[in-house]
Amino acid sequence: MRPADFLKVLKENGLQPLIGVPCSMIAPLINYALDNPEEIECLNPVNEAHALGLACGVYMGSGKIPVVFLQNSGLGNLVNPLTSLSQTYRLPAFLLVTWRGASGPGTDAPEHDIMGRDLEAYLRVLHIPYGILSESRYAEQIARLRQTAEADGIPVAAVVAHRFFDNYESHTLSQVGRQPLNTHEAIRIIKETLVSYTFLSTTGFISRESFDIARTPDFYMLGSMGLVPAVGCGIALTQPEKRVAILDGDGAALMHLGLLPFIGSRKPRKLLHFILDNEVYASTGNQPTVSPLVRFDEVALASGYRNACCVSTGDELLSVLEEMKEAEGPSLVWVKVASGSRDDLGRVSFSPEEIKKRFIKSLWGGC
């Protein structure tokens, strides 16, 4: 399905703007919209719940029914605003939901097994009318769902399966995230310098890069975007003598930015938090985040971190690591990195349960 044709159908049904958090399965649609802002506006809040809240405001302010796009795993972030905002106030929205793990457990990354298996059951429990879009009937399905949303004042969902959209190469997204230091090199420097630290890494390319560099018994987060600082803080609070390093990303950090003031309030002394900021959602096709507007170092200091700084070269990173590896924390290092990763970058090859067992064993001195 050509993204331009799909967008035309959305607009014909008065469904706009596009609001959401990217997924690689609908990257062609999002990238086409970003390349063609004169055709349709595309807004990029940092969390699916934020997207739905924004959609409710857009509807009340304009009368238009927005399209809220999300990966099916992001449906978990929508449960509260769906039930306490959209459905309670009868505010329509058109959810465009990708179906990762549609073919069952083991057919996609492990974090999609449960949501992939149970997506339709969740939609039914949430009383969301939905349709699984067909290439031959999608225009009719969209029109019918839109009519339901408007007539009943409720959110509806159009579910998109794998390879629904044709490939689309963006001509604008390559202009973001240009820095002399790349993610791979930054993580290599960090892990080779902080050899006594316990590492946790966020979902996506950061965990994959870290695993590729050194298959140490880290906690490689698969899914649960934005929550690795919470897990790392829990480790640091329960094992206060353990040196803990969190490898976070800009999109992930922004999704749950409220974790910074919590960490700042508890002040784990040996916690070192890295935000590797490439200004994009790398694993979904380099759609931009809002990180160019955010000073993560200033946010951290205002949130109660004892130390925070920004670096953008390998030499700067090495120098800061020497200063901060023994400093009393919590500390944050904001690392500006280039967007992009190797085409042949593999995934973490351990199962979630194996990751957990290796990590716990290392925490207690057995690995």
Residue 178, pLDDT score: 67
C-alpha closest to that of 73 among 15, 132, 21: 21
Q: Show the tokens assigned to 320.
A: 């800061």
The set of residues, in sequence order, having a beta carbon less than 8 Å from that of 79 and lying 6+ positions away, is 126
Residue 176, pLDDT score: 54
Residue 366, pLDDT score: 57
C-alpha closest to that of 348 among 101, 110, 71: 110
Residue 18, pLDDT score: 98
Map residue 347 onto helix, strand or coil: coil
Asked if residues 278 and 287 have their Cβ atoms less than 8 Å apart, the reply is: no
Q: Show the tokens assigned to 53.
A: 């809240």
Residue 3, H or E segment: helix 3-12
Separation of alpha carbons 332 and 293, rounded Å: 18
Residue 177, pLDDT score: 53
User: Cα dist. 320→209, 296, 324 in Å?
Assistant: 21, 16, 6
Q: What is the CA radius of gyration of the chain?
A: 21
CATH architecture for residues 3-160: 3-Layer(aba) Sandwich (3.40)
Do the first three CATH levels of 3-160 and 177-363 match, i.e. the same topology? yes
Total-model pTM? 0.94
Q: Is the C-alpha dihedral spanning 307, 312, 316, 317 positive or negative?
A: positive
Residue 344, pLDDT score: 86
Domain 177-363 CATH (choose: 3.40.190.10, 3.40.50.970, 3.10.20.30, 3.40.50.300): 3.40.50.970
Q: Taking the chain (367 residues) in consecutive chunks of 10 residues, what is each chunk's mean pLDDT?
A: 96 97 95 95 97 98 97 95 97 98 91 95 98 97 98 98 90 68 96 96 96 96 96 98 97 97 98 97 91 97 98 97 94 95 89 97 80
Residue that is written with structure tokens 């649609």 in the block: 29
Domain locations in the chain as residue ranges: 3-160, 177-363
C-alpha closest to that of 232 among 222, 221, 223, 278: 221
Residue 175, pLDDT score: 55
